[in-house]
Amino acid sequence: LVLVLLCMTLAFGSLIDDVKQRGVLRVGQDAGYMPLYGTNPDGDRIGLEVDILKKMAEILDVKLEFVVVNWDGIIPALVSNKFDIIWSAMTITPERALRVNFTDPYLTVGQIILYNTNKYELPPTEEDLNDPDVKIAVQLGSTGAEAANRLLSEAQIFMFETIDEAAFQVASGRADAMIFDSIYARFMAKKYDQLEVTEDLLTREDFGVAIPKGDFETLQWMNTFIQWIKTTGTLQELQDYWFVE
């Protein structure tokens, strides 16, 4: 009977219970998205989201484990239990919410144009870019790819698996611009002399944590944690530390 009850607890317990029992929180991310997450030369994961996750693991009293997958396969990987949560700069969208449950938002961004200043002396407008001669780099499966397809349908749009590959196309002059989240684009504009970002955002988007569907207990705990990092100023401190102006 004890065994049956134990099995039932394991089968029907919340994700948070599983994580605590296992002693490990498995987080799904893609390769890199600085300053939110990436890998330093020693192979350690670093970034704002990594710091938040360390805080979370400390409170849960568990170890933190990162599982790195391709962005366009990250939701299927969560659904098939390759990891427990996606905390990976994911935009909350109604389409994605059909497959996962999202927490409350913890950051707001927008799509922005990251361009090569050797190609454009002045910041290019949407009209400048919506042209068959223009090459746009985007990440496969991202909201940036969606925005580019919707707003720049005349341009040539090239899809890349990672955002660093896409940004490199622009930095090396092989593509004219990239459409992507403002946080990353501003970081890259700071890092590369020949890269710059436009002033205006093309969209507005909220980031949320994605968890498997139907686990109210875990969703509730995650929302409490997110509220707490906001109220205590923990999130603001990390933003001050990691974000470029």
Residues 6 or more apart from 90 whose CB is under 8 A from it? 74, 96, 102, 207, 208, 209, 210
The one segment of 56-64, 84-92, 98-106, 229-237 that binds ligand ARG by CB under 6 A: 84-92
# binding residues, ligand ARG (CB under 6 A): 12
The one segment of 4-12, 53-61, 86-94, 128-136 that binds ligand ARG by CB under 6 A: 86-94
Structural contact between residues 208 and 90, judged by C-beta atoms closer than 8 angstroms: yes
Position among 33, 115, 187, 221 found at the interface with ligand ARG (CB under 6 A)? 33
Q: Does 101 bind ligand ARG (CB under 6 A)?
A: no
How far are the Cα atoms of 34, 48, 76, 122, 238 from residue 244, in angstroms, in the given order? Answer: 11, 12, 33, 22, 12
CA quadruple 170, 111, 146, 149: dihedral positive or negative?
Answer: negative
Helix, strand and coil content of the chain, in percent to the nearest 5, comes to 40, 20, 35
Nearest residue (CB) to ligand ARG, 16 versus 103: 103
Q: Does 143 bind ligand ARG (CB under 6 A)?
A: yes
Q: In a 10 Å sphere around its CB, with 0-12 CB exposed, 13-18 middle and 19+ buried, how is residue 110 labelled?
A: middle
Structural contact between residues 67 and 28, judged by C-beta atoms closer than 8 angstroms: yes
| Binding pattern for the stretch 179-208 against ligand ARG, x by CB under 6 A and - elsewhere | --x---------------------------
Question: Which residues lie across from 111 on neighbouring strands?
Answer: 181
The one segment of 11-19, 119-127, 138-146, 226-234 that binds ligand ARG by CB under 6 A: 138-146
Site for ligand ARG in 8-27 (CB under 6 A): none
Q: Does 139 bind ligand ARG (CB under 6 A)?
A: yes
Q: Does 52 bind ligand ARG (CB under 6 A)?
A: no
Residues that bind ligand ARG (CB under 6 A): 30, 33, 71, 88-91, 139, 142-143, 163, 181
